[in-house]
Amino acid sequence: MAISAEPATATGRDRDSTVAYVRALLADHAIHVVVIAVFALYPWLYGALVGEVTPFDDYGLLAVLLPNSRVMAEVMYLALFAISFDFISGYTGYLSFGHSMFFGAGMFLVLAARIGSLPLLGPGTSFMTLVLLAMVVTFVLTVLVGSVSFKLTGVYFAMITLGFAEIAKLLMIERFGAESAVTPQASDYALGVPFVPDLQLPLGSGSDAVVRFLGRSLSATVTSYYLLGLVALLSYFALQRIIHSPFGRVMVAIRENEARAEAIGYDTYWYKMAAFGISGAVAALAGALAAGFQNSGDPTIHFDVIEMSGDALLATIIGGMGTLAGPLYGFLFLRGLDEILGGTISLVGWIENTVPGLVETGLGVGVTIQDLLNNSVQGFAGLYVGIVFILFILYVPGGMLGTIRARVGGPLANRFPAWLRQRGRSLSELLGRDR
């Protein structure tokens, strides 16, 4: 991201140059501004189009198709997890199948502290302290796992990280049991600027705290959505910054040809370790946020390779591997479809409400359309996601964002501002104005 108007020197900086700087910055980040605006306005849009819906209402198709704010909040931390997966797998080419372990580590550090089973960290420890601690601890854990795993490459690397994650899952099941989720008693999680309680807001769908913002009152879920979205956004920019730095160029060099990167003098082992550590810490951040939002966690799910790493993989492939932003759209699709086909306000429910006669129709073999819907559509999002995944692997190898990039000739963050500028110029020429 080159910034076209250089900021003036500190002594000569006046009001005009600051305005010019901000304007240039916004112009360069046009696509980010658009995307952030869409996500920021989404709860309002959802409220206007759908409003409050319960499963007992006669809801419309829009209520089925549009994800509610709880789903959107979940997408934020899941996307952050998938972005951390893409950071290591998409940019260095090392498939981190065991990434579930780092998500789970972050999540269970928070939960274990809250149920009072960690030494030194009582249940009263503030959430932000736990989040930061989870990132640091998981960074160390990731580097330890990496120190062994990066002695291997290719398929072997994927397998050994998978092995580590399985051991971690089994140990966690030994510790916390497989029967029920870990759910702390108190659910007070305040997310914001660390160590400044005034700049923190309550996180979690269970909280009944109402936040007033610009004269509107926001529900706890919507507040959480904004909080989680903000953290995901900042983390995304931080990771993007790393990718665009000389360090990030070495990561891509490792992906493209590791032997060559080594031959020109880079100690690739330590570059891989650092990238893996950062990726693990961000995955732990996502896990800790998930713990805060749900106030519960289950080692059989959140440490599971298929459930967590598998979903991150699906989201990354569908969104676009090696695009960093792609996993967000991948998870939006994944969780959205999950909710449409498996949630309480589901497509099948809508069909039953809208055309009650149709579902009673028999198909001749003792099976009604209702049976067919219940046994092949409701709750089978996994099947359709799997089919879409296979089709993407076979026919859309770049994923959604990768394909768009190939079409417009570069990342949208570069192409969109350039396109806007070009349009602006041609518009000026048309009006006969000299710029």
Partner 1 sequence: MSPGVALQVGPGVLVRVLIEGLGTAGLFVMIASGLTLIFGLMGVLNFAHGALTTVGAYVGGGLLVYLASGGGGLGSLGLWFVALGATGVVLAGLGAVIEVGLIRKLYGRAPIEQILLTFGVALVLQELLLMLLGNWQSGLPDPTSSWGQPIVEGPSFMAAGRSFDVLGVSIRGFTPIKILLGVLVVVGVWGFLTKTRYGLYIRAGTEDAEMAQALGIDVQRVFTVVFAVGIGLAGMAGMFLIWERTYDLTYLMGAEALLPAFIIVVVGGLGTFKGTVVASVVAGIFFEAGIFLQTNVFQGLTQLNNILIFLLLVVVLIVRPQGLYGQEEVGGH
Binding interface with partner 1 (CB under 8 A) = 93, 95, 148, 151-156, 158-160, 162-164, 166-167, 170-171, 173-174, 258, 306, 310, 313, 317, 366-367, 371-372, 374-376, 380, 382-383, 385-387, 389-390, 393-394, 397
Q: Cβ 167 to partner 1, closest distance in Å?
A: 5
Q: Which is nearer to partner 1, 7 or 342 (CB)?
A: 342
Q: Which is nearer to partner 1, 322 or 417 (CB)?
A: 322
Q: Tell me which residue has tokens 């998500």.
A: 103
Q: Which is nearer to partner 1, 129 or 376 (CB)?
A: 376
Q: Which is nearer to partner 1, 140 or 383 (CB)?
A: 383
∠ at Cα 17 (11, 20), nearest 5°? 155
Q: Which is nearer to partner 1, 80 or 95 (CB)?
A: 95
Q: Cβ 410 to partner 1, closest distance in Å?
A: 23
Q: Tell me which residue has tokens 């932003």.
A: 325
Q: Cβ 372 to partner 1, closest distance in Å?
A: 7
Q: Cβ 22 to partner 1, closest distance in Å?
A: 42
Q: Which is nearer to partner 1, 155 or 214 (CB)?
A: 155
Helix, strand or coil, per DSSP, at residue 231: helix
Q: Cβ 176 to partner 1, closest distance in Å?
A: 13
Q: Which is nearer to partner 1, 32 or 169 (CB)?
A: 169
Q: What are phi and psi of 177, to 5 degrees?
A: 85, 155
Tokens of 160: 């050994």
Q: Cβ 163 to partner 1, closest distance in Å?
A: 5
Q: What b/e sequence results for 194-218 when a residue is b if at least 16 CB atoms lie within 10 Å of its CB, and e otherwise?
A: eeeeeebbbbbbebeeebeeeeeeb
- CA nearest neighbour of 71 among 344, 348, 353, 389: 344
Helix, strand or coil, per DSSP, at residue 31: helix
Q: Long-range contacts: 302-307, Cβ < 8 Å, 24+?
A: 302/100, 302/103, 302/104, 302/107, 302/108, 303/100, 303/101, 303/104, 303/108, 303/165, 303/168, 303/169, 303/172, 303/173, 304/100, 304/169, 305/97, 305/98, 305/100, 305/162, 305/165, 305/166, 305/169, 307/100
Q: Which is nearer to partner 1, 147 or 353 (CB)?
A: 147
Q: Cβ 2 to partner 1, closest distance in Å?
A: 32
Q: Cβ 296 to partner 1, closest distance in Å?
A: 22
Task: Tell me the C-alpha to C-alpha distance, in Å, between residue 354 and each of 57, 69, 219, 357.
Answer: 12, 24, 30, 9
- CA nearest neighbour of 379 among 348, 421, 414: 348
